[in-house]
A and B are shown apart, each in its own frame.
Chain A
Amino acid sequence: MKDFVFIFRQPSYDYSNSSAEEMAAINKKWNDWIGGIAAQGKFKNHGARLEVAGKVLKPGGVVTDGPFVEIRERLGGFIVVTADSLEEATTLAHGCPALDADGSVEIRPIFA
């Protein structure tokens, strides 16, 4: 067994106008998906969910409020899972709600 990080990237999306029901539906999707990984005994820990706002420091001391990267690839957060191989970890990543939102999951082994 080896540890892998799932890094979630999603296009920027302004959730401030979403209704409580919409937010609850999104939360449920994520919880059910992670719950499914945990039910296989493969969930290791929550990395961190990142807040939307922040700063970017660039060469020459330039500080901006963003965009952090290309608009399609805002880092949303990450979790740590365990799997036998990179292939198995990739299979686990299927069904991730970030994909429904036109985002992606990056699967990266952690150095043991």
Chain B
Amino acid sequence: MKQDHLKHLFQQEFSKMVAVISKRFGLQHIEIAEDIVSETFLLATETWKTKGIPVNPEAWLYTVAKQKTLSYFRRNKIFEDKVIPEINRKQEQQDNTDEFSFSQQNIKDSQLQMLFAICTPAIASEAQIGLALRILCGFGIDEIAEAFLSNKETINKRLFRAKEKLRTEQIQLAFPAEREITKRLDNVLHIIYLLFSEGYYSKTQNQILRKDLCIEALRLGVMLTEYDKTNLPKTNALIALMCFHSSRFDARQSGEGELILYEQQDEDIWNKELISQGIHFLNLSAIGEELSTYHLEARIAYCHCIKEDTAEKWEEILQLYNQLLMINYSPAAALNRTFALYKANGAEVALPEAEKLKLEDNHFYFVLLGELNKNVDKSKAIACFERAKALAKTPAEQQLMQLKIDQLLIRS
């Protein structure tokens, strides 16, 4: 087993083991759970180096972690003083015969309950994403710092505060009550959506990390479909959305890390399997009354999976954006809507509408204005691309703007 295989195994097992230990001994001990799991990995690395990898490395990890956990809690008297009374109380309440075990079912339950616990409204959403990355996706602090373009110290502080909140608010690792679930699910879906966006639109150049983020978000989404109470149409809509976006992950980045615009993307490297997965989940989402923003965004993303540039396609995209904006305004949706308006109704309709948006500090606003002016007023178009270039945050985006300016200059 190579180094990155080990890393991958640890990343996967980290979240499972922390969830199971926290479930058994209470969320207030989550940091101890993290430490125990890290120690277990350390011991594994040392032992496996000399003795070789065991046949079932997961089982090895579970056994060691279990021993370490039990001895920790006994040694520190926490077991007798706090845990046992707590467990007794729980058993009285629900006859919880499920021992401290790493069975598949218990792992799944614990992880899902952890997801709900982390998405408690008591914690700010930025900290929730960080906590989700650490606890549910097993990312290292340095990776999280890189994804947020931040430093380890800031992330550590943020995670510490979030865990403190879990303690002081006495958040329990349990499913919320039936009537609470729908409300909490909205928050859970939102966090998964943010997690995915963090990967998909992240400013970090680390492609592997970004892809990992997207895959983890998808995994958490699919996890929700395994339970009736959380397997709702909007859950499936969110998964569909993530599948469609992910299908273009490889196509939109050139080997040199430059951004490739949609029109120039090679559709042969769009991931067909992810597209058909997306269609599968989109169909599952199309039941019931609720039309969530995920439904609309998923349908928009699906339209973009059809490369052919037809009037019907852009008309549909325009109407979906109209609906989306009525439910949930965002500058990005406003800009995309105006681009769809241009494709469906023409530049002379879209230009005055674009000028009304007034998103003066938004890089993409000037990209859009540049595009709309391209065939109307060349010098204005160039000025817009210049503004866009000045506002661009990554070298790749700046390069792209320069390319557009050069093309316009040549065209005279």
Q: Do chains A and B interact in one complex?
A: yes
A residues apposed to B, CB below 8 Å: 28, 31-32, 34-36, 38-41, 43, 46
Q: Give B321's nearest chain A residue, CB to CB.
A: A35
Which of B315, B318, B321, B357 lies in contact with A40, CB distance below 8 A?
A: B357
Q: Is there an interface contact between A39 and B319, defined as CB atoms closer than 8 Å?
A: no
Task: Please report the C-alpha to C-alpha distance between residue A32 and residue B326 in the assembled complex, in whole angstroms.
Answer: 11
Closest Cβ–Cβ distance, residue A97 to chain B (whole Å) = 13
Check A34/B353 contact, CB under 8 A, given A39-B337, A39-B338. no
List the count of A-B residue pairs having beta carbons below 8 Å apart: 46
Q: Is there an interface contact between A32 and B357, defined as CB atoms closer than 8 Å?
A: no
Q: Is there an interface contact between A34 and B329, defined as CB atoms closer than 8 Å?
A: no
Which of A32, A40, A41, A46 lies in contact with B322, CB distance below 8 A?
A: A32
Which of A28, A34, A40 lies in contact with B326, CB distance below 8 A?
A: A34
Q: Is there an interface contact between B318 and A39, defined as CB atoms closer than 8 Å?
A: no
10 additional A-B pairs beyond A36-B353, A39-B325, beta carbons within 8 Å, are: A35-B321, A38-B322, A38-B326, A39-B333, A39-B334, A39-B353, A39-B356, A39-B357, A43-B329, A46-B326
Q: Give B354's nearest chain A residue, CB to CB.
A: A39
Closest 10 CB pairs of A and B: A35-B322, A38-B325, A39-B334, A41-B329, A31-B322, A38-B326, A39-B337, A36-B353, A43-B326, A39-B325
Closest Cβ–Cβ distance, residue A69 to chain B (whole Å) = 29
Q: Is there an interface contact between A35 and B337, defined as CB atoms closer than 8 Å?
A: yes
Q: For chain A, what secondary structure do more than half of its interface residues adopt (helix, strand, loop), or is it mixed? A: helix
Check A35/B325 contact, CB under 8 A, given A40-B334, A40-B356, A41-B334. yes
Q: Is there an interface contact between B318 and A32, defined as CB atoms closer than 8 Å?
A: yes
B residues apposed to A, CB below 8 Å: 315, 318-319, 321-323, 325-326, 329, 333-334, 337-338, 341, 345, 353, 356-358
Q: Give A38's nearest chain B residue, CB to CB.
A: B325
Task: Please report the C-alpha to C-alpha distance between residue A28 and residue B323 in the assembled complex, in whole angstroms.
Answer: 12
Give the residues in chain A near B329, CB-CB below 8 Å: 38-39, 41, 43
Q: Is there an interface contact between B325 and A32, defined as CB atoms closer than 8 Å?
A: no
Give the residues in chain B near A31, CB-CB below 8 Å: 319, 322-323
Task: Please report the C-alpha to C-alpha distance between residue A35 and residue B344 in the assembled complex, in whole angstroms.
Answer: 14
Task: Please report the C-alpha to C-alpha distance between residue A69 and residue B321 in the assembled complex, in whole angstroms.
Answer: 36
| Interface core residue of B319, B321, B326, B333 (most chain A CB under 10 Å) | B326
Q: Give B319's nearest chain A residue, CB to CB.
A: A31
Give the residues in chain B near A28, CB-CB below 8 Å: 315, 319
Give the residues in chain B near A41, CB-CB below 8 Å: 329, 334
Give the residues in chain B near A39, CB-CB below 8 Å: 325, 329, 333-334, 337-338, 353, 356-357
Q: Give A42's nearest chain B residue, CB to CB.
A: B329
Q: Is there an interface contact between A35 and B326, defined as CB atoms closer than 8 Å?
A: yes
Check A32/B334 contact, CB under 8 A, given A38-B325, A40-B356, A46-B326. no
Closest Cβ–Cβ distance, residue B359 to chain A (whole Å) = 10
Closest Cβ–Cβ distance, residue B358 to chain A (whole Å) = 8
Which of B318, B357, B358 lies in contact with A35, CB distance below 8 A?
A: B318
Q: Give B324's nearest chain A residue, CB to CB.
A: A38
| Interface core residue of A34, A40, A46 (most chain B CB under 10 Å) | A40
Task: Please report the C-alpha to C-alpha distance between residue A111 and residue B239 in the assembled complex, in whole angstroms.
Answer: 42
A-B contact pairs, 30 of them (CB 8 A): A28-B315, A28-B319, A31-B322, A31-B323, A32-B318, A32-B341, A34-B322, A34-B326, A35-B321, A35-B322, A35-B326, A35-B337, A35-B341, A36-B356, A38-B326, A38-B334, A39-B325, A39-B329, A39-B333, A39-B334, A39-B337, A39-B357, A40-B334, A40-B356, A40-B357, A40-B358, A41-B329, A43-B325, A43-B326, A46-B326
Q: Give B327's nearest chain A residue, CB to CB.
A: A38
Give the residues in chain B near A46, CB-CB below 8 Å: 326
Closest Cβ–Cβ distance, residue A8 to chain B (whole Å) = 16
| Interface core residue of A28, A32, A39, A43 (most chain B CB under 10 Å) | A39
Task: Please report the C-alpha to C-alpha distance between residue A28 and residue B315 in the assembled complex, in whole angstroms.
Answer: 9
Closest Cβ–Cβ distance, residue A25 to chain B (whole Å) = 11
Closest Cβ–Cβ distance, residue A82 to chain B (whole Å) = 10
Closest Cβ–Cβ distance, residue A21 to chain B (whole Å) = 13
Q: Give B328's nearest chain A residue, CB to CB.
A: A38
Closest Cβ–Cβ distance, residue B220 to chain A (whole Å) = 30
Task: Please report the C-alpha to C-alpha distance between residue A31 and residue B316 in the assembled complex, in whole angstroms.
Answer: 12
Give the residues in chain B near A36, CB-CB below 8 Å: 353, 356
Task: Please report the C-alpha to C-alpha distance between residue A40 and residue B357 in the assembled complex, in whole angstroms.
Answer: 5
Give the residues in chain A near B323, CB-CB below 8 Å: 31, 35
Task: Please report the C-alpha to C-alpha distance between residue A36 and residue B326 in the assembled complex, in whole angstroms.
Answer: 10
Give the residues in chain B near A43, CB-CB below 8 Å: 325-326, 329
Closest Cβ–Cβ distance, residue A5 to chain B (whole Å) = 16
Which of B345, B356, B358 lies in contact with A32, CB distance below 8 A?
A: B345
